[in-house]
Structure 1
Amino acid sequence: MTIQPPAPGEPRRPHGPRDPGDAWVVAPTGERYWGRFGAAGLLAVDPRRGVLLQHRVSWSHFGDTWALPGGARHEGESAPDAALREAAEEAGVPDASVRRRVVSVLDLGYWSYTTLIGDVVVPFEPTISDPESRELAWVPVADVTQYPLHPGFAASWDGLRGLVDVRPTVIVDVANVMGSVPDGWWRDRVGAASRLLARIAELVATGVAASALDLPEHHWYPEWIAVVEGQSRAADDVPGVEVMRAPAVGDDAIVEAAERAVREGRAVTVVTSDRGLAERVTDAAADVRGARWLLDLLEG
Structure 2
Amino acid sequence: MARGDGDRLVRCGRGHLHWGRFGAAGLLPVHDGHVLLQHRSRWTHGGGTWALFGGARDSHEDAVAAALRETAEESTLDTTLVTPFGVIGVDHGNWCYDTVIGSIDTMPTVERASRETRAAAWIAVDKVERLSLYPPFAKAWPTLRTALRRPVLIVDAANVMGARADGWWKDRAGAAARLRDELAKVVGFTGITPFDLAFPEILFVTEGAARGIGSVDGVTVVDAPGSGDDTIVAMARGSLDAPRLVITADRELRRRCEKAGAQVSGPRTVLSLLA
Q: Which category describes the TM-score, using the shorter chain as reference length?
A: 0.7 to 0.9
**Amino acid of the structure 2 residue aligned with 1:206:** G
Q: Where does residue 5 of structure 1 map in the other structure?
A: none
User: What root-mean-square deviation, in Å, do the aligned CA atoms of Structure 1 and Structure 2 show?
Assistant: 3.5
Superposed displacement of residue 246, structure 1: 3.1
Q: Where does residue 88 of structure 1 map in the other structure?
A: 72
Q: Where does residue 36 of structure 1 map in the other structure?
A: 21
Deviations 1:177-223 (A, max 9, x none): 223333222444343222212332344x23204xxx5x45x614154
**Aligned: 1:150 with 2:134:** yes
Tell me, in whole angstroms, the C-alpha distance in 2 between the residues paired with 1:208 and 1:234. 26
**Aligned: 1:193 with 2:176:** yes
Larger Rg: 1
Tell me, in whole angstroms, the C-alpha distance in 2 between the residues paired with 1:167 and 1:288. 17
**Aligned: 1:173 with 2:156:** yes
Tell me, what secondary structure is at the counterpart of 2:238? helix
Tell me, in whole angstroms, the C-alpha distance in 1 between the residues paired with 2:97 and 2:266. 35
Tell me, in whole angstroms, the C-alpha distance in 2 between the residues paired with 1:280 and 1:32. 47
List structure 1 runs of 4+ shifted beyond 6 angstroms: 26-31
TM-score by length of 1: 0.73
**Aligned: 1:271 with 2:247:** yes
Q: Where does residue 50 of structure 2 map in the other structure?
A: 66
Q: Where does residue 257 of structure 2 map in the other structure?
A: 281
Superposed displacement of residue 298, structure 1: 2.9
| Paired residues for 1:1-300 under 5 Å | 19-25=4-10, 33-46=18-31, 48-91=32-75, 92-95=77-80, 97-109=82-94, 111-116=95-100, 118-120=101-103, 122-125=105-108, 127-128=110-111, 130-131=113-114, 132-161=116-145, 163-164=146-147, 168-203=151-186, 205-209=187-191, 215=193, 219-221=196-198, 222-229=200-207, 230-239=209-218, 241-261=219-239, 264-274=240-250, 277-278=253-254, 280-295=256-271, 297-298=272-273
Does structure 1 retain, via aligned residues, the 8 Å contact 2:3–2:58?
no
Tell me, in whole angstroms, the C-alpha distance in 2 between the residues paired with 1:35 and 1:259. 41
Number of residues paired by the alignment?
270
Tell me, in whole angstroms, the C-alpha distance in 1 between the residues paired with 2:135 and 2:72. 23
Tell me, what secondary structure is at the counterpart of 1:200? helix
TM-score by length of 2: 0.78
**Amino acid of the structure 2 residue aligned with 1:281:** C
Q: Where does residue 7 of structure 1 map in the other structure?
A: none
Superposed displacement of residue 175, structure 1: 2.2
